[in-house]
Structure formats: C-alpha cells, structure tokens
Amino acid sequence: MTPIDKLFTSMPKLPSVPTVVQALIVSLGDEDADIGSMVARIKQDQSLCARVLRLANSSYYGARHKVGAIDDAVTLIGLNALRTLVIASGVTGAFTKVEGINLKSFWRHSMFTATLARDLGKMVGINGEFAYTAGLMHRIGQLLIDMAYPSVARDIAYDNHGISVAELSATERRLLEFDHSEASAELALRWNFPAVIRNALRWYITPLVDDACPYAGTVHLASQITLGIETNMDEDLIVRGIDNQLTAKLVLDDLDWIDVISMAKEMLQGEVVFD
C-alpha cells in the first residue's frame, strides 16, 4: 500500500459531495454537456442553493450585480460560472469540521487564491473557471492529512504562515512520505475532476517542472500573492518574490504586479461566505 493509499484508508470517513455536484464535476471534461438541464436539480437542494448564492454575491467571486436566485445567476454570470460555484459550494460543504484547522481562515485563503487564479488564468489564456476550481482546492490535501493524522498535522503546524509552501512540502514528505499537493490531486482523481485540475493541484508547489501545466503556475502565483497579502508583506517584496522564469513560462512578463496586488488587497476585505 502506498503512503497516499494509506492516507485515504486512515480517514474515518472519506469526504463526499452531493450527487448533482458529482455530475457537474464530470461535466467539466465534457464540452457538450447540457449544464442547463442540471439547474432544476440544483434548485431542489435549498441548502446548496443558499451556499451558491452567498458565494456568487461575495467579493471573492466578483459578480457585479446582486444575484438573488439561481435563475439570476444563470443570467448574470452564465452557466459555466454557475457550474463552478455549485462545485465550489459542494467542495467546501464536504468539510464541515476538521480538528486543528480553522476552516474560516482556510477557506478565506483558498477562495481568495481561487479568485486571483481565475483572473490570472484569463490573462494567460486558459479556462478561468478551471483555474478558479484548482485555486479553491489547492490546499485541500492539508484537510485530508489533518483528518487522517491529526497528531502529525499538529507537528506540521498548518497555521504557520512564516514558511513557504516548499518548506511545508518538505516537512510533510519527511513525516508522511507525501505532501498535501499529492493528497489534493488524489482526491480530485477520486472525485473525477479533469486532468488539468489534477495537474494544477499536484504541481502548484513546483510549477516549473516539465509535467506542470499552465494551471499549476497560475495557482502558484495566486497562492503566493495571497499569502504575501495575508502576512502584510510589502508589495515590493511580494513582487520580488515572483519567479521570472514562471512569469516567462506563462507569458506574463509585462504584467504590472503592483497593480494586481493593489486590486487584490481591495478584494481581500470581503467576508468569508461559508461557515
């Protein structure tokens, strides 16, 4: 049994998402999928609807008009964006309580990273909704580790923002023989997410490796900027920490990162929309 297999067999209960969310996840890999036919099923789940609408109206997603109902969401943000929000609601709802993890802080970082990843993804020329989903899930492996190995998770200290993701990964590997990026990618595989999203989750820590797709680099940058803002790092320091090789790979060499960070700071003032 591999260390990753052992992780999933060690959890008291494997996180799951509602059936309609499962169907929407599968539809991500199907360009001909009839998303509209799933809207009626979404409406039947009042709890899911409420979560979707809270997210649609948050600064983290950026809808420009008040979204009052699922039909409004279809009109204002489109079916593909609605699908992303339903999936995001299902993913976050799969983790109601994780000992040792402040879920409000966790999802705040994840949703902010997701929003930045979506915007950067559009600049790179990749699917912004896929980038958003990858950004939302990029640290989900940490939740799995905490659920399966709470004592090890305490040693890893996931609330320590003073270390880089590379250092965090090294600690995880030393203690567990895998890191949270591998755990995230494996969960995405078990939940039937498309290969590009699984790739982003697996390689966001090391986006310059040959196997990494542009989604991995986009999530890496979004997470790095988010962490810098959350720790009150000076904007110039955040910019200096951005890898020029990565921006060249993503063809973002000419982007004004100070402007990106300034706009991101305004967005970070929003409230977390999930309990």
Would you list the DSSP string of 174-228?
A: HHHSS-HHHHHHHHHHHTT--HHHHHHHHHSSSTTSTT--HHHHHHHHHHHHHHH
What single string gives the DSSP state of each residue in 16-64? ---HHHHHHHHHTT-TT--THHHHHHHHT-HHHHHHHHHHHTSTTTT-S
The last residue of one of the domains, among 61, 93, 125, is 93
What domain range is 54 assigned to? 17-93
Q: Rounded to an integer, what distance in angstroms lies between the CA atom of residue 2 and that of residue 10?
A: 12
State how far Cα 74 lies from the chain centre. Answer: 22
Tell me which residue of 275, 273, 221 sits closest to 245, measured CA to CA: 221
Last residue of a domain, one of 73, 93, 113: 93
Q: Say yes or no: 21 and 134 in one domain.
A: no
Model-level pTM?
Answer: 0.91
The distance in angstroms from the start CA to the end CA of the chain is: 36
Domain's final residue, options 74, 93, 112 = 93
What is the reported pLDDT for 222?
Answer: 97
pLDDT < 50 positions in the chain: 275
| Structural domain contains residue 5 | no
In angstroms, the CA 49 to CA 66 distance is: 15
For residue 32, being part of any structural domain is answered with: yes
Question: Do 102 and 148 share a domain, yes or no?
Answer: yes
At residue 210, the pLDDT reads 97
Based on the domain organization, do 116 and 50 belong to the same domain?
A: no
Q: Note the pLDDT of residue 162.
A: 66
Whether 143 and 158 have beta carbons less than 8 Å apart is answered as no
Whole-number CA gyration radius for the chain: 18
Model pLDDT, residue 36: 75
- Residue in 50, 53, 27 with CA at minimum distance from that of residue 38: 27
Buried b (16+ CB within 10 A) or exposed e, 4-41: beebbeeeeeebebbebbebbbebbeeeebebeebbeb
pLDDT digits (tens, 9 = 90+) for 105-120: 899 899 999 999 999 9
pLDDT of residue 10: 92
Same domain, residue pair 46 and 114:
no
